[in-house]
Amino acid sequence: MSARVTMADVAEAAGVSRALVSLAYRDAFGVNGDTRRRILDVGDELGYVHNRIAASLASSGATSIGVYLQDLHNDFFADVHDGIRDAVETEARDLVLAVGALGGERDAGSLRALQGARVGVIIGAGILMPDAEVQAFSSRTPIVSIAREVPGVDSVSSDNLAGGRLATSHLIELGHRRIAMLANPPSDGYLGRRAGYEEQMASAGLASRTVEVSYSRADAATAAIALLDGDDAPSAFFAHNDQTALGVLEVLLARGITPGREVSVIGYDNSSVSGAPGTSLSSVDLHGAQLGAAAGRAALRRLADPAAPPELEVTSPELVLRMTTGPAPV
């Protein structure tokens, strides 16, 4: 608990100027590699820690990167985080994290907190505010939106249409003809998944059967029961996300139906639960780490040129096949 060590102390102990110490800690130009090492060593010995607070206040342009993640319980956001960190760490930028909430009730507060931390740009994954609010916010602190396209705002998203096509056409190729889709509420976006499904069904001459469900597993289970008990029960389900697919699996297992044999199921997100033994859910992978990395690079570009026109980058999803998909029963 000695008095706080400052740059001045390090400078004195190392026998150099304050300014040089400052440069050394930012590994800027104009400081010889040897002296740099020596300065850092002296700093370590004294227990000095570069004060990013003071540094940030003093430097005019904000250089740190804010990261907003909707929900830590969802593995997708963990992937996104990893991707961002990978893409950004070569630049030695500070990442400032803020976590939201599933319902979006923390969006505004968390984004404000990042703004209060004076980040230069915010990478947002799972922001639920309306487009208009995102745009308004972005005009003060630029946002890079992940997995959601916001007009006028840098966006990095996965091709949902392609994902919907991938899943559906695979089920069709397996011989399924009665394929139901459990879709999310249209107001939340991700419409491409549904569009891809309906397009593929139509072009195969099959009738679409789309049921809208919420994000809860229980809700999905209810919908699955209704479909299975109805006329012309489907032999395959395409779910808008893994959570929904788990609801379907729950129903199948409870009825003694083996997923992948009698009935096939494909989810979306390829979250960590998908790979669990026993569950082994086929799913569409968004490649969250890839999205995060792309967003990280976009953030660096935005920091470098605040006036550049907004960018839109679209990455391709991938179908990951496990045990819940199999040939249609005869």
Residue 1, interface with DNA (CB under 7 A)?
no
Residue 51, interface with a copy of itself (CB under 8 A)?
yes
Q: What is the closest distance, in whole angstroms, from the C-beta atom of residue 207 to a copy of itself in the complex?
A: 28
Residue 17, interface with a copy of itself (CB under 8 A)?
no
22 binds, among a copy of itself, DNA, none (CB under 5 to 8 A by kind): DNA
Q: What is the 3-state secondary structure (H, E, C) of the chain?
A: CCCCCCHHHHHHHHCCCHHHHHHHHCCCCCCCHHHHHHHHHHHHHHCCCCCHHHHHHHCCCCCCEEEEECCCCCHHHHHHHHHHHHHHHHHCCCEEEEECCCCCCCHHHHHHHHHHCCCCEEEEECCCCCHHHHHHHHCCCCEEEECCCCCCCEEEEECHHHHHHHHHHHHHHCCCCCEEEEECCHHHCCHHHHHHHHHHHHHCCCCCEEEECCCCHHHHHHHHHHHHHCCCCCCEEEECCHHHHHHHHHHHHHCCCCECCCEEEEEECCCHHHHCCCCCCEEEECCHHHHHHHHHHHHHHHHHCCCCCCCEEEECCEEECCCCCCCCCC
Residue 54, interface with a copy of itself (CB under 8 A)?
yes
Q: What is the closest distance, in whole angstroms, from the C-beta atom of residue 122 to a copy of itself in the complex?
A: 12
Contact predicate 174/326, CB 8 Å: yes
Residue 140, interface with a copy of itself (CB under 8 A)?
yes
Q: Rank residues 96 and 284 by Cβ distance to a copy of itself and give the closer one.
A: 96
Q: Using the rule CB under 8 A, which residue among 171, 213, 220, 249 binds a copy of itself?
A: 249
Contact predicate 264/324, CB 8 Å: yes
Structure-token match 């998944």, residue found: 193
Pairing of strands 179-183, 154-158: unpaired
- Residue 14: how many CA atoms within 13 Å on its side-chain side? 28
Residue 103, interface with a copy of itself (CB under 8 A)?
no
68 binds, among DNA, a copy of itself, none (CB under 5 to 8 A by kind): none
- The C-alpha atoms of residue 114 and residue 98 are separated, in whole angstroms, by 7
Chain positions 2 to 31 lying near DNA, rule: CB under 7 A, are 4, 6-8, 15-20, 22, 25-26, 30-31
Chain positions 28 to 57 lying near DNA, rule: CB under 7 A, are 30-32, 35, 48, 50-51, 54-55, 57
Residue 254, interface with DNA (CB under 7 A)?
no
Q: Select from 73-81, 144-152, 174-182, 293-301 the region that touches a copy of itself (CB under 8 A).
A: 73-81
Q: What is the closest distance, in whole angstroms, from the C-beta atom of residue 65 to DNA in the complex?
A: 16
Chain positions 276 to 295 lying near a copy of itself, rule: CB under 8 A, are 276-280
Q: Using the rule CB under 8 A, which residue among 259, 267, 292, 296 binds a copy of itself?
A: 259
Binding mask 58-77 for DNA (x = CB under 7 A): xxxx----------------
Task: State the residues that interact with a copy of itself by CB under 8 A.
Answer: 1, 47, 49-54, 56-57, 71-73, 75, 77-79, 81-82, 85, 94, 96-99, 112-113, 115-118, 139-140, 246, 249-250, 253, 259, 272-273, 276-280, 306
Task: State the residues that interact with DNA by CB under 7 A.
Answer: 4, 6-8, 15-20, 22, 25-26, 30-32, 35, 48, 50-51, 54-55, 57-61
